[in-house]
């Protein structure tokens, strides 16, 4: 069952965490009060500059893609529940690396998040743009573990052509997609709802879409549920979790 479990942190203060994948235990198991993140096992794995440096293609993987500076790394940090997990930058278009993170080992081969280099930054030299395209082509063509793509879109801009191209890429790779219209804190409720409605109309059933803000946490639960549905843990494993937590 999915739900929120109140727990007491190491300092004794009462905090709320979300366990997306298991029923909260009636009696906290040892170590339970040390869980500070929605994904306590999450760790940075590797940065790759070329396809040959990608981590082994096993388990499940969800990629976060979006325009430069749209808020990909900030979204990952909030969803995972760690402040400095993926690096947030003020200078767009700097890094052209594919960053791999392990989320957990809940399926054989593990579940990973991938922070892709941002696209659409006009001042990037042609050579860098070519490198980006080759890297993305390599990534989408070969990752069999890629089960979903989260496309991060600045709500003030709405869906643009490069976002549509990314969604088409995901579709061609046979991946489900979910769009986060982020920086929702920058727009009024009415304006945000308008962009959401337009995106829903355009995407239809091809992708999920929602409002999000890494600043005020708008849409956090919905985004976590969407992430889980992009990399589902088999029911047999979930049943095992429940059995463990009931001991």
Ligand X SMILES: Nc1nc2c(ncn2[C@@H]2O[C@H](COP(=O)(O)OP(=O)(O)OP(=O)(O)O)[C@@H](O)[C@H]2O)c(=O)[nH]1
Q: How far is the CB of 217 from Mg ion (least distance, A)?
A: 19
Q: Break the chain down into helix, strand, coil percent, rounded to 5.
A: 35, 25, 40
Do 219 and 213 contact (CB within 8 A), yes or no? yes
Q: How far is the CB of 143 from Mg ion (least distance, A)?
A: 19
Of 176 and 180, the one with the shorter C-beta distance to ligand X is 180
Number of H helices, E strands in the chain: 6, 9
The secondary element (H helix, E strand) that includes residue 98 is strand 98-104
Of 68 and 210, the one with the shorter C-beta distance to ligand X is 68
Do 19 and 3 contact (CB within 8 A), yes or no? yes
Picked from ligand X, Mg ion, none, the partner binding residue 110 (CB below 5 to 8 A depending on kind) is none
Other C-beta atoms closer than 10 Å to the C-beta of 99 total 21
**Per-residue contact string for residues 42-81; x = within reach of Mg ion by CB under 5 A:** ------------------------------xx--------
Of 111 and 183, the one with the shorter C-beta distance to ligand X is 183
> Considering only 127-135, 166-174, 207-215, 231-239, which stretch makes contact with ligand X by CB under 6 A?
207-215
CA–CA separation, 183 and 157 (whole Å): 10
Picked from Mg ion, ligand X, none, the partner binding residue 138 (CB below 5 to 8 A depending on kind) is none
User: Is 185 near ligand X (CB under 6 A)?
Assistant: yes
HSE toward the beta carbon, residue 112, CA cutoff 13 A: 28
Interacting residues toward ligand X by CB under 6 A = 66, 68-74, 88-90, 92, 118, 182-183, 185-186, 213-215
Interacting residues toward Mg ion by CB under 5 A = 72-73
């Amino acid at each position: 069952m999915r739900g929120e479990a109140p727990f007491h942190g190491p300092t004794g203060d009462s905090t709320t965490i979300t366990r997306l994948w298991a029923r909260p235990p009636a009696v906290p198991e040892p170590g339970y009060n040390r869980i500070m993140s929605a994904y306590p096992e999450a760790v940075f794995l590797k940065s790759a500059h070329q396809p040959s440096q990608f981590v082994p293609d096993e388990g499940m993987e969800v990629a976060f893609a979006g325009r430069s500076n749209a808020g990909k790394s900030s979204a990952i940090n909030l969803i995972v529940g760690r402040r400095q997990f993926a690096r947030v930058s003020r200078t767009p278009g700097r890094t052209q690396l594919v960053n791999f993170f392990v989320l957990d080992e809940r399926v054989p081969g593990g579940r990973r998040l991938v922070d892709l280099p941002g696209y659409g930054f006009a001042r990037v030299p042609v050579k860098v743009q070519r490198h980006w395209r080759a890297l993305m082509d390599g990534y989408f063509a070969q990752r069999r573990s890629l089960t979903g793509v989260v496309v991060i879109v600045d709500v003030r801009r709405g869906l643009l052509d490069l976002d549509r191209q990314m969604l088409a890429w995901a579709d061609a790779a046979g991946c489900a997609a979910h769009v986060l219209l982020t920086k929702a804190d920058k727009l009024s409720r009415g304006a945000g709802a308008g962009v959401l409605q337009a995106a829903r109309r355009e995407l239809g059933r091809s992708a999920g879409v929602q409002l999000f803000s890494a600043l005020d946490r708008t849409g956090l639960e919905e985004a976590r549920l969407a992430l889980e549905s992009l990399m589902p843990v088999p029911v047999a494993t979930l049943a095992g979790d429940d059995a463990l937590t009931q001991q």
